[in-house]
Each structure stands twice: as structure tokens, then as C-alpha cells.
Structure 1
Amino acid sequence: MTVEEILEKLEALGNEKLRLQNKKHGADDNQFGVKMGDIRTLAKPIKADNELAKALWKTGNMEARLVAILVTNPKKLPPAELEEMVQSGRIPQIADWLNSYIVKNHPAKESFREKWMNSKNTWAARAGWSLTSGRIAREPEGLDIPALLNRIESEMAKAAPEVQWTMNSALAQIGIYFPAHRKRAIAIGEKLGIYRDYPTSKDCTSPFAPIWINEMSKRLGKA
């Protein structure tokens, strides 16, 4: 399919109610309001095509960018292009899909993780802390956990909301997977109070770090 054909299909799948809902969650007017499941269905028959993905990304359209993410082969994506995509994510949904499908599978992810954690670009910093959160849970060897806690304690309160989300995830992962640092992680969460009053449905775990840490530690048998 061409870029034009994909945009036509996305527009036909659009829903005004969902479009308005997306705007409340950070999207701009360059979107159609397409369900995530419909975007996946549209992208599924398209083979990995980085050139098509690049063209879709350039449209700036939210759903076209989500399709672009799904049809990108991370291993063939030049590092400079990845960094440009990350820095121009602009919408949480795009940033999260980008991190899940491309960033964490890119060969240069570790060098970018260290670089982005110190970036002044909001979306790059969000991605850097997201990668760090993943490493804490799955590949913590070599990480300086006390230093990470120091940074979180001193920086998270002043960080942009988009960055706070992934820094908070890193804090929770430390508390869950490192019992020796759990008490301090919980204390930092209590001190900062970020997401203390976050609305959470009954079947979900609160993102407030002390609650998240205690509940997941019990669930994983790490209490």
C-alpha cells in the first residue's frame, strides 16, 4: 500500500468521539480517531518496510505514525533516524509504541539509554528512563541502583509529566526487584507523592510507587 492509500483507510476508520478523547490525552488535530485494534489490523498484512514507514512518519498524522512503528524493522533503522523519531514523538501513545516496538529492540538501545536519560528533550528523556526501567527488571547487571535512586529523588519532582511517568516506573521496579533498596524506594515515593491520588480502577494497580511496589512484590513472591 502507498502512503495515500493508508491515509484513506485510516480516515475511513476514524471516529469523532475517539478523536476528541485522544485530544484529551495529548493528541493534536492531526489524527482521525482510529481504534488501536484497527491500526494493528491495517498494519498486519504490510511487510516490514522502513521506507514506507519513513514516509508515513513524515505525514505527522498520529495513526499513520503508529502504522509506521508497526512496519519498521528496528535492526535496519539508522540510529540517527531513530533518535529523530524519538525526539519528535509528541504524543504519549506514539512514544509508548515507539519504545515498545522499536527502541527496546534497536541494536544501539544501550548507548541511547545513557544519552537520553540526560537529554533536555522531553520525549528522549522519557525513552531513556523507559529503557532504564526495563533494564532494572530484566537486565540489572552493571546498573548503579543507589545512584539511580539519588537521581529520581532529586529530579523527578521537577521533571516534565511525560518523563515523570517513566522515572516513576524505574522507581517502582527498583522497589520490586531489589529488596535491599525497597525501603528507600518506598520512602522516596512517599516523599514525592507523585500519583498518590491518581484515579485507578478496581482491577488495576495504582501507579503511586509505594502501593505499586508493595502489591507487585507480594504478587511476584518478592515481599
Structure 2
Amino acid sequence: MDFEMVMQGLEALSNERLKKMYISNGAHEPLFGVATGKMKPIFRKTKINQPLAEQLYATGNYDAMYFAGIIADPKAMTEADFERWMDGAYFYMLSDYVVAVTLAETDIAQAVADKWIASGEELRMSAGWSCYCWLLGSRPDSEFAEGKIANLLEVVEKTIHDAPERAKYAMNNFMYTVAISYSPLHDKAVETAKAVGPVEVQKDKKKSKLLNASENIQKSINRGQLGFKRKYVRC
């Protein structure tokens, strides 16, 4: 399938209800509103195709950008490529579920995520913390330096309440992921989550909600999910 055929295929799967939901989460035109599971038949025809992924990502169409993440070849992408993709990631569903996910399948993932966490930019920070969540939730514990992950937990404890809104979500998820998926620091992550307590995030101009990693960790422990690792990061 070439670029035009993929775009036509995505448009044919458009769903007005999903489109409205994506827009309510921060997406904007152009987009079709395609359920991610519906993209699989198109993927079976395109396979992994980095040149096509680049064409699709450059459209600015949310659904095309998401599909670009599915067909991208992470190992063919450089740090500069990921920086460019982040520049185009205009809201968290792109930064955290497309760019961070694709980055998590590379050997440069931790180095790039570290830079993004330290950047002070909301979506880069969110993508950096999210990348660690995807990594910790899928790779063997032995691939991580325990001291480094411990330091990141300390950064979360000290800075989460003053972090940008989307970064708060990702940092909260990081505490949860370390507790559930990274056995060496389970106890430290549990202690960190208790020390942090509920985290207030603004949903829109009027509403706010509380995130509580400690509660979510306990729920997952009760469900027997301790030690959980994904087989695949991407769809």
C-alpha cells in the first residue's frame, strides 16, 4: 500500500464518536477518528515501512500519525528523528502513545528519555517518563541500573507536585510502574507513592482530579499483577 491508499483506508474507518473523543483529549483537525484496533488490517498490508511512516507522520493528521508509530522501524530512527517527531507531537496521545512507545523499542531509549525529562518542556517530560514506563513494563529488570531508577523515584517525590500537568500523569504512572514491574525497587516505589500522596491535576479550566499511585499499586497487587511485563510495547 502506498501513502494515498493508506490515507484512504484510514478515512474509510472514520468514526464520528471517536473523533469527538480524541478532540476532547486534545486532538485537532485534521483527523478521522479511527479505532486503533481497526488499523491492523492496513498494517498487514504495509508491514514495517519507515519511509511511509515518515510520510504519514508529516501529515499532521492524528490518525495517520498514530499509524506511523505502528509501522515505524524504531531501529532505523536516530535521536534527531525522535526529536523531530516530538516537535510534531502536539498533545499527549502523540507524545506518550506514539513517540514514547516507538522510542521504547530502541537502544537509545533511556538516553533520549533522560534528556526529555530534564528539558522542562511539558510534552517532552511526559514522553520521557512515559518511555520509562513502557521500558520497565516490558524489558527484563537486569537491563536497568537500580541506582538510576532509584534516583528517578527521588526526582518524582521532590518535583511531581510542581511539574507541568501532563508530566504529573506520566510521573505518577512511573511510580506505579516501578512498584509493579521493577522488582528490585518495589518497596522504594511504594514508599515514594505514599510520601507523594494524591497529586492534583487540572483536567480543564474548571475541573481538577486527584491521581493516587498508592491506591492503584495496591489494587494491582490485590489482582496478582506484581511482576507484570508486556510481551509487546507496540500494537
What letter matches 1:173 in structure 2? T
What is the DSSP-based 3-state SS (H/G/I as helix, E as strand, rest coil) of the residue aligned with 1:45?
A: helix
Partner residue in 2 for 1:36: 36
Change (3 A) 1:46 1:155: same
Q: Displacement, 1:40?
A: 2.5
RMSD after superposition = 2.6
Partner residue in 2 for 1:12: 12
Determine the C-alpha separation between the residues in 2 that align with 1:108 and 1:146.
Answer: 20
Determine the C-alpha separation between the residues in 1 that align with 2:80 and 2:55.
Answer: 16
Determine the C-alpha separation between the residues in 2 that align with 1:221 and 1:142.
Answer: 18
Determine the C-alpha separation between the residues in 2 that align with 1:54 and 1:221.
Answer: 37
Q: Displacement, 1:210?
A: 1.2
Determine the C-alpha separation between the residues in 1 that align with 2:78 and 2:69.
Answer: 14
Determine the C-alpha separation between the residues in 2 that align with 1:117 and 1:217.
Answer: 28
Change (3 A) 1:183 1:124: closer
Determine the C-alpha separation between the residues in 2 that align with 1:210 and 1:157.
Answer: 15
Structure 1 segments, 4+ long, off by >6 Å, are: none
User: Structure 1 residues 146-155 or 19-28, which shifts more?
Assistant: 146-155
CA contact (8 A) 1:125 1:163 kept: yes
Partner residue in 1 for 2:169: 165
What letter matches 2:100 in structure 1? N
Partner residue in 1 for 2:99: 98
Determine the C-alpha separation between the residues in 1 that align with 2:12 and 2:78.
Answer: 33
Deviations 1:144-184 (A, max 9, x none): 45532332122212222221121011112344443442553
Q: Displacement, 1:88?
A: 2.4
Q: Displacement, 1:82?
A: 1.5
Q: Displacement, 1:53?
A: 1.0
User: Structure 1 residues 177-186 or 4-13, which shifts more?
Assistant: 177-186
Change (3 A) 1:16 1:131: closer
Q: How does 1:33-112 map to 2 (within 5 A)?
A: 33-95=33-95, 96-100=97-101, 102-112=102-112
Q: Which has the higher contact order (CA 8 A, sep 6+)?
A: 2
TM-score (norm: length of structure 1): 0.82
Deviations 1:106-149 (A, max 9, x none): 12112112211101332221121123335555344343455323
What is the DSSP-based 3-state SS (H/G/I as helix, E as strand, rest coil) of the residue aligned with 1:21?
A: helix
CA contact (8 A) 2:198 2:212 kept: no
Correspondence 1:150 to 2:161: no
| Unaligned residue ranges in structure 1 (runs of 5+) | 199-206
Change (3 A) 1:142 1:150: closer
| Unaligned residue ranges in structure 2 (runs of 5+) | 203-207, 228-235
Partner residue in 2 for 1:188: 195
CA contact (8 A) 1:116 1:128 kept: yes
Partner residue in 1 for 2:231: none
CA contact (8 A) 2:57 2:68 kept: yes
Determine the C-alpha separation between the residues in 2 that align with 1:168 and 1:38.
Answer: 30
CA contact (8 A) 2:190 2:217 kept: no
Determine the C-alpha separation between the residues in 1 that align with 2:77 and 2:149.
Answer: 31
Pairs aligned (count):
213
Partner residue in 1 for 2:115: 115
CA contact (8 A) 2:31 2:62 kept: yes
- Aligned-residue sequence identity (percent) comes to 22
Determine the C-alpha separation between the residues in 1 that align with 2:75 and 2:156.
Answer: 31
User: Structure 1 residues 66-75 or 2-11, which shifts more?
Assistant: 2-11
Determine the C-alpha separation between the residues in 1 that align with 2:68 and 2:226.
Answer: 39
